[in-house]
């Protein structure tokens, strides 16, 4: 094989095999709104924490759907649970409950 000095980078975007489906279903059970997210980003744009750091619920949800749970937790750890996203969410997702449960379910193995 010729060495061109570069190679095809593996896709990190969507890899459903990496996703822990058990935990994913657990979160859906704990917060049914999880599946309703349409990634509009209103939660991230209104976020109090996002003024200071890169807290973003929208990105975190997408990351979990793609199996990148660890990076999602890093994003959500800074959440102050103030509830602004809860009020603003056009899909009526209980975002606070979602964030709490994501942290709870995915932090279990890290501890």
Partner 1 sequence: MKERFLFGYDPFVLPFTLGMVFIILYLLVGTARIIISLTHEEQISLLKSLKPKQLFKTIKDVITDCLLHIKIFKRNPLLGYMHFSIAFGWFMLIVVGHIEVMLYTPQRNGILYYPVFFRYFVMETQQTLRGAFFFFLMDLFLLMVLSGIALAIFKRFRSRALGMRRTTKLKIGDTFALYSLWAIFPLRLLAESFTADISGGSFLTKSINHLVHGFVSNPDNALPIWWCYSIALGVFLFALPFSRYMHIPTEILLIFLRNAGIKATSFRNGYAEAEIYSCSRCGICIDACPMGVNLGDIKFSTVYTIRLLRKRENALEGAEKCLMCNKCVEVCPVGINSTQLKLLYRQSFNDTGDHDFSYLSPQNIKHNKEKILYYAGCMTHLAPAIYLSLFKILKKAGIEYNFMDADGSICCGRPLMLSGDFKGASQLIDKNKDIILNSGCTTLLLSCPICYKVFREEYNLQGIEVVHHSVYINDLLNSGKIKVDRVHESFVFHDPCELGRGSNIYNEPRELLSSIGTLKNSPEEKGESICCGGSLGSLTMQYERRKRITEHSLSMLYTNNPDTLVTACPLCLKTFSPVNSKRTVDIAQVVSEHLI
Q: Which residues bind partner 1 (CB under 8 A)?
A: 31-33, 46, 48, 51-53, 77-84, 86-88, 92-94, 96-97, 100, 103-104, 107
Rg (C-alpha) for the chain, rounded Å, is 16
Residue 96 C-beta: closest distance to partner 1, Å? 7
Indicate the residue among 15 and 54 with the shorter CB distance to partner 1. 54
Q: Which residue has the tokens 């980078």?
A: 9
Indicate the residue among 31 and 66 with the shorter CB distance to partner 1. 31
CB-based contact 62:39 (threshold 8 Å)? yes
Residue 32 C-beta: closest distance to partner 1, Å? 7
User: Among candidates 43, 38, 51, which has minimal Cα distance to 87?
Assistant: 43
């Amino acid at each position: 094989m010729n060495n061109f000095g570069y190679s095809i980078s593996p896709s990190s975007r969507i890899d459903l095999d990496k996703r822990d489906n058990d935990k994913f279903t657990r979160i859906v059970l704990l917060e049914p709104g999880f599946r309703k997210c349409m990634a509009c980003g209103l939660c991230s744009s209104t976020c109090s924490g996002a003024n200071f750091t890169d807290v973003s619920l929208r990105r975190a949800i997408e990351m979990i759907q793609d199996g990148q749970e660890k990076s999602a937790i890093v994003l959500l750890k800074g959440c102050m649970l103030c509830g602004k996203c809860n009020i603003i969410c056009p899909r009526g997702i209980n975002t606070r409950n979602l964030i709490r449960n994501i942290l709870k379910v995915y932090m279990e193995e890290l501890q």
